[in-house]
Structure 1
Amino acid sequence: MTPEDLAVVISDGVHTAIRSGHISAEVPGEIRVERPRHRSHGDYSTNVALQLAKSAGLPARTVAEVLAPLVDAAAGVAKAEVAGPGFLNITLESAAIGALARDIVLAGDAYGRSDRLGGLRLNLEFVSANPTGPVHIGGARWAVVGDVLARLLEAAGADVSREYYFNDAGGQIDRFARSLLATAQGSPAPEDGYSGAYLEEIAATVLRRQPGALELARSEAVAAFRTEGTALMFDEIKTSLAAFGTHFDVYFNEKDLHDKGDLDAAVTRLREGGHVFEEEGAVWLRTTDFGDDKDRVLVKSDGSWTYFTADCAYYLNKRSRGFERVVIMLGADHAGYVGRMRAMAACFGDDPETHLEILIGQLVNLVKDGAPVRMSKRAGTVVTLDDLVEAVGVDAARYALARAGVDTMIDLDIDLLTRQSNDNPVYYVQYAHTRPCAVQRRAAEAGIGKGAPEDFDPSALTHEREADLLGTLAEFPQVVATAATLREPHRVAHYLEQLAGTYHRFYDACRVLPRAGEDPDDRTRARLWLTEAARLVLHNGLQLLGVSAPERM
């Protein structure tokens, strides 16, 4: 029995109490079922009586005393006891607990998935690094968090489109092109340009493709390096992200917004809404009407567009494609964008609380020997995604970046993440996955199987460590749903570490396979079901993080 199953049992008890007239109350939208800190308090606890007390006009403990016998009488429940100010502590029958092992194995890869966010069509934009250099370590964080969040949202039933906004218009592309041209000419980089060994590689490739580029007039040469160089840089970004396990459904070009007239259309729409005004020769959007700290320029006095206008057009484009919710992930240096973007959505007539969501992530540092790694050999001024992967590997990098909340600055310790010890979180979890795999190999070698589902005896799982493991396995669907709903992928990593520890303790305390000369019995087979259930949940959790689940280490 999972917490979700028990919540249904408790809900049935609440409705029975209301129908019978014992209480008159409004049924809460969600009934919370949690694992108590101490096993002596039962397998699960609920505060539903405290939720009902106000509308019932009764002390919470009185409500709990009405509900206790109704829950106690349900199939699979051994006892329900009132505790404290009105908590219900619930102990399940061993067979009801143990049956979960079979349910998990039969569900397979689907265990942990739900329809919590079913029907939600969501556009998730992340990374979106300018194609003027390799993805830096901050972008690597978004590459992981965005990818994992997309997986979680889909596991919770949402329809997710992963999108990368390709900034191929504007001043930064011009500076990049001029930097490439200077590199190809053997000249110093422009004062406002870019530097790094990667420019030499790209400039050389452009010259191989267009041998006469340096003989063109300067404007034509810049244009050639812009077109070829930007395409080469973006191909490299895509390759780095793909090698990191991050893929996108849509690569959207900013230039298309300009070429297709989307900026004009966005300004027209905003003007029709009555939010546009002109002052000092410029066109403005009155975002202060919706909480922004100042109004924003859409068209400068010289007639050129601002970056904010492109943001407006891009948001409108996403909404026009049928996305109910637009989620944008930005770095810490973009925290000031939140107010203007929310105001912009309101100017379009949207509800920022419903249609727009902006996540801000903090910085990442790479540390070795206790000191920050400052520069990349190739990029010169920053540490790149490729540098990170070279230093610790894809699995360790993804896991380390996913296990911290995005609003927390983190230091990635190269020495720790390359260490094969329990101090290394990803090693600890992956090693936990190898142990049930090893048990299953030994069982197969001995000709011992777990048997058919109908032969599984859940009542054979009575050891305290078995109950602990089953209780932890039962929490996985709720962890996934909560991580998706709250946009907190780190919850999955923390859960996997908890599950790994619980499995290691089970493994040490409960012998699964019989000793030499002994025959397998119902407990052997039940523990094989439990072992496979643990392996599946570890596998499913690691899959959500985009981290491999090795069978041997």
Structure 2
Amino acid sequence: MTPADLSLTVLHAVRRAVDDGALRVDVPPTVKVERARPGGVGEYASNVALTLARSAGRTALDVAGILEERLRDAPGLQAVDVTGPGFLNFTLRPDAGGELVRAVREAGDAYGSGTALAGVTVRFADLTESRALLVTQTVVRLLRSQGADAGFGPRLLRTQGADAGFDQDDATGEPTGDWAREETGEPTRAPAGERIHVHPGAYDPHTLGVDAARWALLRPAPQDRPLDGPPLLVQHERNSLFRVRYAHSRVRRLLVNAAQLGFEPAYETPVHAPELLGVLGDHPVALLTAARHRAPDRVARHLEATADALLAFQHTVLPLGDEKPSAAHRSRLALAEAAGTVLAGGLSVLGISAPERI
């Protein structure tokens, strides 16, 4: 079960509670689920009961108890606990890792793409400054990965008719937002409505190469200064770009070495790797959040966390000494392969290559 799956499971519990009259609230469009904090209960937590308590006219503990009853037998959940003033805490079943690995392997590099922003249209102003253009192009790619219609320049609008190409008020049918309109009913062009605040920076692929040049501009938050380029060319663990790309290359080498030992990836038995499983499960949320906040740096930071978790895990994958390959090794290899897929897909979103070997 991924965080996105868990979020939908909790949302369905809220809807069931409303449908059977246990809660009288408007069902929220989404439910936020986060990794449990250190020392907390389970792997994930949600404050949905606290957010619904006031409108429900009940205490958060009451709301949490109502939802807990409807989540006890949810597939993929081993336990649901209520803590503090009304937080819901979730412990996943031991086989949840297998579901996650299979989801990654089935989706490939597209893992994390979705339809959460389907129906959303975003147009950005035409740009000339190099970093602003690069950041905005990457944001467009992120938005499209989540189902949005995103691009540059004005869009053609009509002010009449059911197929009018603008955002409109559901009650009045009048155009909303910053889009221009005319009373004639004739097509008119609306100004591009969005700019991302970006600290200027030079894009220098001739000196740094494409990958380092892009990382230097995309890894910091858009409003922060770009990274110094030359350190990104040094193959050292302090170089975050090297660490991410090296982690991907390690996965490719593990797969080659495993094939030489006569076994392939197959998730057959639970693997205890909470950090790695956690970051892989968080990947769809990281992409969606980066798209919504217009922040490619969130993807870069998530890739760093994935790389660090993988590099700490990699030493357990292959048999040691005279040890024979087992179901545990095949399962660990499948998990490592899934991590490599996430790294390659995330780097691709940023327009950066994922090398087979470094």
> Where on the TM-score scale, by shorter chain, does this alignment land: which range?
0.7 to 0.9
Q: What is the alpha-carbon distance in structure 1 between the residues aligned to residue 95 and residue 223 of structure 2? A: 42
Q: What is the alpha-carbon distance in structure 1 between the residues aligned to residue 165 and residue 192 of structure 2? A: 8
1:157 Cα offset (Å): 1.3
1:359 aligns with 2:196: yes
Q: What is the alpha-carbon distance in structure 2 between the residues aligned to residue 443 and residue 362 of structure 1? A: 45
Unmatched runs of 5 consecutive residues or more in structure 2: 159-163, 168-175, 184-189
1:505 aligns with 2:321: no
Decide whether the 8 Å contact of 1:324 with 1:355 is kept in 2. Answer: no
Match of 1:141 among 115, 131, 151: 131
- Could you list the per-position Cα deviations for residues 334-377 of structure 1 after superposition, in whole angstroms to 9, with x for gaps in the alignment? xxxxxxxx99855768xxx997222232233xxxxxxxxxxxxx
Please report the TM-score for the alignment, with normalisation by the length of structure 1: 0.57
Q: What is the alpha-carbon distance in structure 1 between the residues aligned to residue 226 and residue 52 of structure 2? A: 45
CA separation of 1:393/1:76 partners in 2, compared to 1, >3 Å: closer, same or farther?
A: same
Decide whether the 8 Å contact of 1:98 with 1:470 is kept in 2. Answer: no
1:125 Cα offset (Å): 4.2
1:100 aligns with 2:122: no
Aligned equivalent of 1:239: none
Match of 1:476 among 265, 278, 283: 283
Aligned equivalent of 2:349: 544
Q: What is the alpha-carbon distance in structure 1 between the residues aligned to residue 137 and residue 215 of structure 2? A: 12
* AA aligned opposite 1:518: E
Q: CA RMSD in A?
A: 2.7
Q: What is the alpha-carbon distance in structure 2 between the residues aligned to residue 5 and residue 344 of structure 1? A: 35
* AA aligned opposite 2:299: V
**Structure showing the higher helix proportion among its residues:** 1
Q: What is the alpha-carbon distance in structure 1 between the residues aligned to residue 178 and residue 29 of structure 2? A: 33
* AA aligned opposite 1:140: S
Q: What is the alpha-carbon distance in structure 2 between the residues aligned to residue 107 and residue 546 of structure 1? A: 19
Aligned equivalent of 2:14: 14
* AA aligned opposite 2:135: V
Please report the TM-score for the alignment, with normalisation by the length of structure 2: 0.86
1:525 aligns with 2:340: no
Q: What is the alpha-carbon distance in structure 1 between the residues aligned to residue 326 and residue 181 of structure 2? A: 69
1:430 Cα offset (Å): 0.8
Decide whether the 8 Å contact of 1:122 with 1:324 is kept in 2. Answer: no
| Aligned counterparts, 1:77-116, within 5 A | 77-116=77-116
Decide whether the 8 Å contact of 2:243 with 2:307 is kept in 1. Answer: yes
Query: Secondary structure of the residue that 2:197 maps to in structure 1?
Result: strand
> Which shifted more, 488-497 or 512-521?
512-521
- Could you list the per-position Cα deviations for residues 283-342 of structure 1 after superposition, in whole angstroms to 9, with x for gaps in the alignment? xxxxxxxxxxxxxxxxxxxxxxxxxxxxxxxx5xx33599758xxxxxxxxxxxxxxxx9
* AA aligned opposite 1:99: E
CA separation of 1:323/1:523 partners in 2, compared to 1, >3 Å: closer, same or farther?
A: farther
1:113 Cα offset (Å): 0.5
CA separation of 1:65/1:344 partners in 2, compared to 1, >3 Å: closer, same or farther?
A: closer
**Structure showing the higher strand proportion among its residues:** 1
Q: What is the alpha-carbon distance in structure 1 between the residues aligned to residue 48 and residue 191 of structure 2? A: 28
1:394 aligns with 2:210: yes
| Aligned counterparts, 1:156-195, within 5 A | 156-162=146-152
* AA aligned opposite 1:531: A
Q: What is the alpha-carbon distance in structure 2 between the residues aligned to residue 354 and residue 93 of structure 1? A: 51
1:414 Cα offset (Å): 3.3
1:440 aligns with 2:255: yes
Decide whether the 8 Å contact of 2:119 with 2:149 is kept in 1. Answer: yes
CA separation of 1:324/1:548 partners in 2, compared to 1, >3 Å: closer, same or farther?
A: farther
1:115 Cα offset (Å): 1.1
Q: What is the alpha-carbon distance in structure 2 between the residues aligned to residue 503 and residue 514 of structure 1? A: 17
1:22 Cα offset (Å): 3.2
Query: Secondary structure of the residue that 1:102 maps to in structure 2?
Result: helix
Decide whether the 8 Å contact of 2:220 with 2:227 is kept in 1. Answer: no
1:552 Cα offset (Å): 0.9
1:507 Cα offset (Å): 2.0
1:485 Cα offset (Å): 1.9
- Could you list the per-position Cα deviations for residues 46-74 of structure 1 after superposition, in whole angstroms to 9, with x for gaps in the alignment? 11101210121111012112222321221
1:503 Cα offset (Å): 1.3
> Which shifted more, 534-543 or 152-161?
152-161
How many residue pairs get matched? Answer: 340
- Could you list the per-position Cα deviations for residues 226-269 of structure 1 after superposition, in whole angstroms to 9, with x for gaps in the alignment? xxxxxxxxxxxxxxxxxxxxxxxxxxxxxxxxxxxxxxxxxxxx
CA separation of 1:358/1:124 partners in 2, compared to 1, >3 Å: closer, same or farther?
A: closer
Identity over the aligned pairs, expressed in percent?
A: 37
Q: What is the alpha-carbon distance in structure 1 between the residues aligned to residue 7 and residue 196 of structure 2? A: 32
CA separation of 1:6/1:18 partners in 2, compared to 1, >3 Å: closer, same or farther?
A: same
Q: What is the alpha-carbon distance in structure 2 between the residues aligned to residue 354 and residue 15 of structure 1? A: 40
Q: What is the alpha-carbon distance in structure 1 between the residues aligned to residue 246 and residue 329 of structure 2? A: 23
Q: What is the alpha-carbon distance in structure 1 between the residues aligned to residue 191 and residue 41 of structure 2? A: 40
Q: What is the alpha-carbon distance in structure 1 between the residues aligned to residue 339 and residue 19 of structure 2? A: 41
Unmatched runs of 5 consecutive residues or more in structure 1: 129-138, 164-314, 326-341, 365-383
| Aligned counterparts, 1:407-446, within 5 A | 407-408=223-224, 410-446=225-261
| Aligned counterparts, 1:191-230, within 5 A | none
Structure ID, larger Rg:
1
Q: What is the alpha-carbon distance in structure 1 between the residues aligned to residue 88 and residue 178 of structure 2? A: 47
CA separation of 1:346/1:23 partners in 2, compared to 1, >3 Å: closer, same or farther?
A: same
